[in-house]
Amino acid sequence: MMSMSCKDGNGAMMDNGKYVRYTPEQVEALERLYHECPKPSSLRRQQLIRECPILSNIEPKQIKVWFQNRRCREKQRKEASRLQTVNRKLSAMNKLLMEENDRLQKQVSHLVYENGCFRQHTQNTTLATKDTSCESVVTNGQHRLTPKHPPRDASPAGLLSIAEETLTEFLSKATGTAIEWVQMPGMKPGPDSIGIVAISHGCTGVAARACGLVALEPSRVVEILKDRPSWYRDCRAVDTLNVLPTANGGTIELLYMQLYAPTTLATARDFLLLRYTSVTEDGSLVICERSLNNTQNGPSIPSVPNFVRAEMLASGYLIRPCEGGGSIIHIVDHMNLEAWSVPEVLRPLYESSTVLAQKTTMMALRQLRQISLEVSQSGASNWGRRPAALRALSQRLSRGFNEALNGFTDEGWSLIANDGVDDVTIQVNSSPEKLMGLNLPFANRYPPVTNSVLCAKASMLLQNVPPALLLRFLREHRSEWADNNFDAYSAASVKLGPCSFAGSRIGNFGGQVILPLAHTIEHEEVLEVIKMEGIGHCPEDALMPRDMFLLQLCNGMDENAVGMSAELIFAPIDASFADDAPLLPSGFRIIPLDPIKLQTTQDTSTPNRTLDLASALEIRGSGSKISNDRNIASGNSRSLMTMAFEFAFESHMQENVAAIARQYVRGIISSVQRVASALSPNTGPNVGLQFGAPEAHVLARWICRSYSCYLGVELLKCGGEGSEYILKSLWNHPDAIMCCSLKAMPVFTFANQAGLDMLETTLVALQDISLEKVLDEHGRKGLFAEFAQIMQQGFACLQGGVCSSSMGRPVSYERAVAWKVLNEEENAHCICFRFINWSFI
């Protein structure tokens, strides 16, 4: 073995202690070759010596050492750069934490003072008058933030006075003790976290606060944050009514803002706002806002139909330059969303500071972090599109879904009568703006030109179903709920011809292939193309099946995010897949209705269910129940699912299309209810790791008994008895253990936790993965050669090799064992595999 150290580029230390010095010309030639091929083979190094006369006096071993040292220096350089970046983040985060600690100390002193005031008030019961400030502390937990004022003057001078008051109040919330802040559940500060996130406790309305670091200059941060519709998905529009400059170089803007309603059961919100942008004495930039609901002598906007006027209390952004570049940002959102105007079941959404933090406060930080990452990684992204273009596509999908869900009349939507049952709402839009881009030229046998769009939408209440888990199932098992014929009809309205995409697959689920486009840095949002194989029809022959493509947006897949909604939004795309391609978004939104209730255990749900969904549905139908494989908290959780589906059609077919769409949505509701029933965990106490069905315990016993019978050794360590112990031990076994069906095309029917991790899938999606797609060619040949031995002898030992996970990642394993699993009648039930010492490559 050759010993060496990472010297500079002018020399290398050989194993004989001789130090070789290179000329500048030789170093230049070697550097040029390094950039072409950092790790050349022995033959390549000899070829380099022959092709470069300047290197002819250098031995191949010396060239090898130089390249080793060069790779070592490159690795050290990257590591040093990474550590410097982490150090800057830690230094800035430390500064934030010190400021937060100072603020908390002030808050403690403030609470101690108020406690003393309260004690004095309660002891002085003989006084005729009472201390109203202390009453405010008793009832609200702090002094009232928005005392009632007579109408304020909205003249320029009056607006400046309101702006200065808003600035002072905002800063007291962002860096002071005006609000009692508590840490956001599930948020832990660190160098890789989104920031320090807190929610209010006991204040008027709902409020959230965040502090974070972004690698953008303050002026760029201001530009992004003021363009609220570009990052706040719930924001429909922001209109600037007036702009007034101030003597200190700042600006006062009067704005009218509209927010979408998140579901069909609620009404949208709007705000009349004052926005004040200024620079503080220390050079920090401040954007603060508040509602103008009680003014005179100034602009006013009367109530708008289909909107409820909400109130924004002093909120905003404090942006400070950070040493070494970037910005430190403080965000405060404080609103009164008028919860009285929504049904009681929805009021937690409008009374929860956690929901406000997830939807608004943290969304702003995520947008800033995402843009800063894109700036640092300039260049085209997947599919030849830049990140900004992909973000625009995500925004269009989300906005189109919100428009369909809300169905505003000023956008051309009109309600049509129902069929006597009001479970599904049908709206029609024939406005030119909605149809723009949908009337594409069609070839022969293509549908006629469409001139209207229909939207069918509904909402349903779900019990004990984690939104992220249900979303994952809807994403991976479209065939369980969608009507392929109706999907093909919808897609034909916006398709020109066969689509051709070349990209890496991340999964193949029941005939649908997921092709990645982009994901955000926290992976809370994924943009992808779904290839539905053999669904549509070729323009040349209407009877010939062809592939259909959907552009799909998926977010809210993190089960640990408290108060996070889950969304699956998709739209058929045409062959060109242009950035301005026409989109008719449809999809689902699943909103947790109990965001304030904190988890009583660390894991309340897991995507790795104990049985595949097909088995679960069968078991549930027979009266048994499926439960989690981990302990869950007692109690019920509720969520609201809202769905909307858009279809382009000819106006004279409105009645028929409406009837079909209504039945289509009702069919989806029925499918979702069936799936939700299967996915819903048992919320009783002491659930433990039980698969909820006798079949699971029986299968585990068969697997272990057959292994012992054929191989002469025990699969599990001795230490317990009973079916529950066997199942639990098998589930936690360190090796990947998987069962395959005895079919012409074997598919996986069961896997333990290690097996699911190796395949990068869930038990819900396991049955859609075939053995052939996991094994490489060498593995398939080896298995087929040993198959007869497995069926006759009962087992076979397989050599190590490489296979693929469901996401396409290569996985190596040292060796594997396959054995036949016998049932009680000694008949072959399935084949089981044990992959030993596996790891991702």
Q: Integer distance in angstroms from the first to the last C-alpha of the chain?
A: 25
Cα radius of gyration rounded to whole Å, the chain: 32
Q: For residues 63 and 48, is the Cβ–Cβ distance under 8 A?
A: yes
Question: What Å distances lie between residue 441 and 420, 492, 584, 756, CA to CA?
Answer: 38, 12, 17, 47
Classify the C-alpha dihedral 491-497-503-508 as positive or negative. Answer: positive
User: In whole angstroms, what is the distance from residue 3 CA to residue 791 CA?
Assistant: 52
* H or E, element range at 472: helix 467-476
- 599 three-state secondary structure: coil
User: In whole angstroms, what is the distance from residue 490 CA to residue 212 CA?
Assistant: 44
DSSP 651: G
Q: Which residue has the tokens 């130089």?
A: 66
Strand ranges for 606-735 from DSSP E: 638-649
User: In whole angstroms, what is the distance from residue 830 CA to residue 767 CA?
Assistant: 14
User: In whole angstroms, what is the distance from residue 660 CA to residue 332 CA?
Assistant: 47
Question: What Å distances lie between residue 75 and 79, 87, 376, 428, CA to CA?
Answer: 6, 18, 19, 60
**pLDDT tens digits for range 688-725:** 333 445 677 888 889 999 999 998 888 887 766 777 88
Q: What is the crossing angle of helices 60-123 and 132-140, to 10°?
A: 130
User: In whole angstroms, what is the distance from residue 484 CA to residue 336 CA?
Assistant: 44
| Cβ neighbours of residue 168 closer than 8 Å, sequence gap 6 or more | none
Tally DSSP H helices, then E strands, for the chain.
20, 30
Helices (H), ranges, 712-798 = 723-731, 753-759, 771-774, 777-793
User: In whole angstroms, what is the distance from residue 2 CA to residue 7 CA?
Assistant: 15
- SS3 assignment for 236-296: EEEEEEEEEECCCCCEEEEEEEEECCCCCCCCEEEEEEEEEEEECCCCCEEEEEEECCCEE
CB atoms within 10 A of CB 8: 10
User: Which residue type is seen at 247?
Assistant: A
- CA 176, 182, 183: angle at the middle one, nearest 5? 115
User: In whole angstroms, what is the distance from residue 750 CA to residue 806 CA?
Assistant: 15
Task: List phi, psi (to 5°) of 183.
Answer: -65, 140
In this predicted structure, what is the pLDDT of residue 636? 58
In this predicted structure, what is the pLDDT of residue 287? 96
Classify the C-alpha dihedral 480-483-485-489 as positive or negative. Answer: negative
Nearest Cα to Cα of residue 412 among 435, 430, 436, 393: 430
* H or E, element range at 834: strand 828-840
User: In whole angstroms, what is the distance from residue 269 CA to residue 129 CA?
Assistant: 41
Name the stretches of the chain with pLDDT < 70: 1-20, 93, 103, 106-107, 109-114, 116, 119-149, 187-193, 296-298, 377-385, 419-420, 435-449, 484-524, 532-547, 559-561, 575-577, 595-636, 680-694, 719-720, 764
Q: For residues 554 and 568, is the Cβ–Cβ distance under 8 A?
A: yes
The separation between CA 735 and the C-alpha centre of its own chain, rounded to angstroms, equals 30
DSSP 151: P
Which own/partner contact pairs does 140-147 have at CB distance under 8 Å and 24+ positions apart? 140/202, 140/203, 140/204, 141/180, 141/201, 141/202, 141/203, 142/114, 142/178, 142/179, 142/180, 142/202, 142/203, 144/204, 145/169, 145/178, 145/179, 145/203, 145/204, 145/313, 145/314, 145/334, 146/204, 146/313
Q: For residues 472 and 764, is the Cβ–Cβ distance under 8 A?
A: yes
Task: List phi, psi (to 5°) of 633.
Answer: -80, 150
Helices (H), ranges, 794-835 = none
CB atoms within 10 A of CB 646: 26
* H or E, element range at 656: helix 654-679
Q: For residues 769 and 476, is the Cβ–Cβ distance under 8 A?
A: no
Q: Which residue has the tokens 């579901």?
A: 263
- SS3 assignment for 346-384: HHHHHCCHHHHHHHHHHHHHHHHHHHHHHHHCCCCCHHH
**Token pair recorded at residue 86:** 């982490």
In this predicted structure, what is the pLDDT of residue 136? 36
Give the CA diameter of the chain: 105
- 324 sits in the region (left: phi over 0; alpha: psi -120 to 50; else beta) called left
Q: Strands 152-153 and 295-296: what pairing?
A: parallel
Q: What is the crossing angle of helices 654-679 and 467-476, to 10°?
A: 120
- SS3 assignment for 187-235: CCCCCCCCCEEEEECCCCCEEEEEEEEECCCHHHHHHHHHCHHHCCCCE
**pLDDT tens digits for range 590-635:** 999 875 443 333 333 333 332 333 333 333 333 333 233 333 333 4
